[in-house]
Amino acid sequence: MRDTLFLKIIAREIPADIVYEDELCIAFRDIQPQAPVHVLIVPKKLIPCVVDAGPADQAILGHLLLTAGTVARQLGVGDAFRLAVNNGTGAGQSVYHLHVHLLAGRAFTWPPG
């Protein structure tokens, strides 16, 4: 297993502002927020990208979305937030450990930039 920044956060080798954790995932504030609320929801299992997920990962992928709702309610933004998942460098992925961005606290336009 490759050592990613997120695996180091999960292992508590690197500090993070953790807002949620359970047996399958962890959620923490992004260090370069793109909105007043910007949280990353990361599976504890290393899946580098969405395209690397397989049928065995179906439950964890669903769990990430359910966790996003839990975290949004916990942070008081449960009725207005955006979720984003980048796949690959061309889409803006910089850490190769699948993660869901939860963004809230400002207006968003469509299509995203």
- Whether residue 36 is preceded by a cis peptide bond, meaning omega within 30 degrees of 0, is no
pLDDT at site 2: 67
Instruction: Considering the candidates 63, 97, 99, 101, report the single residue annotated as catalytic.
Output: 99
pLDDT at site 1: 47
pLDDT at site 97: 93
Q: Is 99 a catalytic residue?
A: yes
At 81-90, the pLDDT tens digits run: 999 999 988 8
Single pTM value for the model: 0.93
pLDDT at site 112: 82
Low-confidence residues of the chain: pLDDT under 50: 1
| Domains of the chain with CATH codes | 5-104 (3.30.428.10)
- Output the DSSP codes for 78-102: TTSEEEE---SGGGT--SSS--EEE
pLDDT at site 3: 83
